[in-house]
Structures are given as structure tokens and as C-alpha cells.
Amino acid sequence: MLPFIRSDLAEFTAYKPHPSSDRAQPVSQTQLDRLDTNESPYDLPVRLKEKLAWTYQQIIETNRYPDGNHGELKSAIAEYVNESAALSPSVFTSANISVANGSDELIRSLLIASCLGEGSVLVANPTFSMYAILAKTLGIPTVEVNRQQNSFEINLQAAQTAIEQTQNPPIRAIFVVHPNSPTANALTPAELAWLRSLPDRILVVIDEAYFEFSQTTVVTELLEHPNWIVLRTFSKAFRLAAMRVGYCVAHPEFITILEKVRLPYNLSSFSMAAALIALQNRQLLLSSIPQILEERAKLLEILSQQPQLQVWDSAANFIYLRLKQDGWQQQDTIKKLNQQLQARGTLVREISGGLRITIGTPQENLRTLNNLQLALANLNS
């Protein structure tokens, strides 16, 4: 290893996004259904792409730095946040918003602002893996607790004990997803009550990446809890995963700190223009959600009749399932199942002993069902 490199990074496994060459639609006849990263199955409508292309041609000066204050975008986001929480008159303003190169960047900024050099972070597994990965890259210790076997509710007793007993450094931040990924369950009243009971010295990050699908938000609670922050993204329901735009809603004092921590020009002019166009056309873009939810219900109904599978209810645009079979073979069999799906062109995410499957177009979902039935039959033969 090169002698100047931090020793702990040598042991470290990088997050593996699917290499684009693996996921790109092949020129051959094999159809690839990319149901492994919870994106929207729908691209931006052509009319909006044309608007974006026009903005690029006519407005954006590529020789100039982008607006490093994100002024226009922050105002539009604040308006959307108020509207999405039915807050009238408006409560949140630009002062409550920070935007970043995907919510991944915000996760890193949050860790820098709360834990770096002073604290540990608490997560409840299985959950979004980037919290622990980013903490590791910063040398921040991660304390992990588990979830209940069947409901995937956080083991609150273990979490409380971790908060009380972790020393050197103590827990300074907790990350939860609402609804959780990969398990698709929203925070329960008991989990919310526990989060409310946490002392002000602990940052509570509530990641609402899938808010538009769940339609449940805790954003109004930010007013009572200055130590809470809500994270959101344009990568899912707003169909802009390629553009990398995420944002958070928080107390203005904390936003000031996050603005100090981020890179000065963290968002390109093109990405900002895309996010603005998406917000201006939100009715059109979000009109695909009812159909995705109907498809989810169909998929859940059919899969829950499959005797080999345990399928969980979902509040997001993906579902989570495991094999009913117990024991060490389960891991092996789920791997085989995933390989068979992949060979048939259905890409899903194998995670925590199960499969997370994004809801796609009706045609994609039909293929998922067929391929899953075939793969299950093959396992038995």
C-alpha cells in the first residue's frame, strides 16, 4: 500500500453501484429491467427535456461558475416542502434548506457537522448502507443495532442502551429512513415517540428519500425539534437520478453550518436547472405515482400467495422479500434466485438475506413476476 494512505482505508470496501456498463440497455434483444436502485421507471417527458435543453443553450453560460448560493432552487424547494406538508401560511423558507450533489453528499456533510472527531453514529440494520460507509471514510465509529425479525421496527431497547452506554465517543447522530430501505416500512408511532424523546445533543436525521410514494412526512415536527433534520432527493419520484440533486430541511442555524461544510459549487448549473424544471412541473411528474402504487399492490398480492416467499408490505416504490426457508441455506438460495433473475434480465438488489425489488412499469413488473416464478420453480427442480 502507498505509505501516505490512511491505514483504515486499506481494509475498506467501497460502495459498489452497478457499473453502468453492466446496467446499460444492451443493443442485443435481451431486455434488461433495472429494478435494483429504486429509481422511477419513467424518464423525464420529452417536453421537459426540450425545456432543459433550451435552458442549456440559451441561459446557461458554461464558462461561468454556477450560482453557489442555490437561491432560486432553495426558494422553489421551500415552496414545495410547505405545499407537501399542507403548511399554509408557509413555514419553511430558503433559510431552512440546503441542497447538495445528491442526498449522499448531505449525509457526508451531516456526519462532518455532527460527529467528525467528536461522536459516533447510530444506525439500525438493515438500512441504507451509505450512512455507515460514509462514516467509515471519515473515521467516525458506527454503532449498529438490529430490527425486529418480522416488523423491521428498530430494536428500541437496544438503541436506547446504545445511546446511554456508548462512550469515547458518545453517539451524536442517528440516521433513520422513513420508509426504510431495503425493508419499505414507515416509522411506527413507537419509533417516532422514541426519536422525540432523544436529547437535543443528538442529531436525528430522518431520510425521506421515498416521501412522494409514502406521503408521510415528519417535516412539521422540525419546528418543535431543532435537532431533527429531514433529507429528501430528486433521484426517485422526480425522475432525476442522473442529475444528482438532494436537499434537506432543518433549523436555520444548522443550515448555516451545513453551508460552511459543503464545497462552494457543489451543484452544476445544469442540475439546478433540471431540479427547477422538475419542481415547476411537479404535477405532471408526480402523476405517475398512483399507477406505481397500484402496481405495487398487484405485485404484493400475487407474491404473497407464493408459498416459498415471505413478502412484506411496502410504503415505498419497492418491495422486500425473503425465502421462508430458514437457516444458513437461505443466504445461498437467495443468491441463486438473484442469479437466475439476473440471467433472465431482471436486475434486483440482493440485501440482508432477501431481495429488494423496485416497482417498474406494468410490463417490467409482469416480467418480474414471470421470471421470479420460473426462478423459484428452478430452485425446486
Ligand X SMILES: Cc1ncc(COP(=O)(O)O)c(C=O)c1O
Q: What residue ranges bind ligand X (CB under 6 A)?
A: 38, 102-104, 128, 177, 181, 207, 209, 233, 235, 241, 246
Q: Which residue has the cell 433473475?
A: 341
Residue 173's closest CA among 159, 185, 158, 193? Answer: 159
- Cα separation, 154 vs 148, in Å, equals 6
Q: How far is the CB of 246 from ligand X (least distance, A)?
A: 4
Q: How far is the CB of 30 from ligand X (least distance, A)?
A: 25
Q: Residue 105 forms beta bridges with which residues?
A: none
Q: How far is the CB of 206 from ligand X (least distance, A)?
A: 10
- Cα separation, 304 vs 326, in Å, equals 17
Q: Which is nearer to ligand X, 333 or 352 (CB)?
A: 352
Neighbour count for residue 380 (Cβ, 10 Å): 6
Q: Which is nearer to ligand X, 276 or 375 (CB)?
A: 276
Q: Which is nearer to ligand X, 296 or 375 (CB)?
A: 296
Q: Which is nearer to ligand X, 38 or 183 (CB)?
A: 38
Residue 351's closest CA among 378, 318, 379? Answer: 318
Q: Which is nearer to ligand X, 37 or 188 (CB)?
A: 37
- Cα separation, 170 vs 196, in Å, equals 19
Residue nearest to ligand X (CB): 102
DSSP structure class, residue 178: S
93 in Cβ contact with 78 (< 8 Å): yes
Q: How far is the CB of 88 from ligand X (least distance, A)?
A: 28
- Cα separation, 274 vs 259, in Å, equals 21
Q: How far is the CB of 314 from ligand X (least distance, A)?
A: 13
Q: Which is nearer to ligand X, 102 or 354 (CB)?
A: 102
What are the two backbone dihedrals, phi and then psi, of residue 72, each rounded to the nearest 5 degrees?
A: -65, -40
Q: How far is the CB of 119 from ligand X (least distance, A)?
A: 21
Q: Which is nearer to ligand X, 351 or 366 (CB)?
A: 351
Q: Residue 122 forms beta bridges with which residues?
A: 143, 174
Q: How far is the CB of 103 from ligand X (least distance, A)?
A: 4
Q: Which is nearer to ligand X, 162 or 209 (CB)?
A: 209
Mention every residue, 6+ apart, whose C-beta is less than 8 A from residue 114.
Answer: 172, 173, 203
Q: How far is the CB of 177 from ligand X (least distance, A)?
A: 4
Ordered DSSP codes for 68-95: TT-HHHHHHHHHHHHHHTT-SS----GG
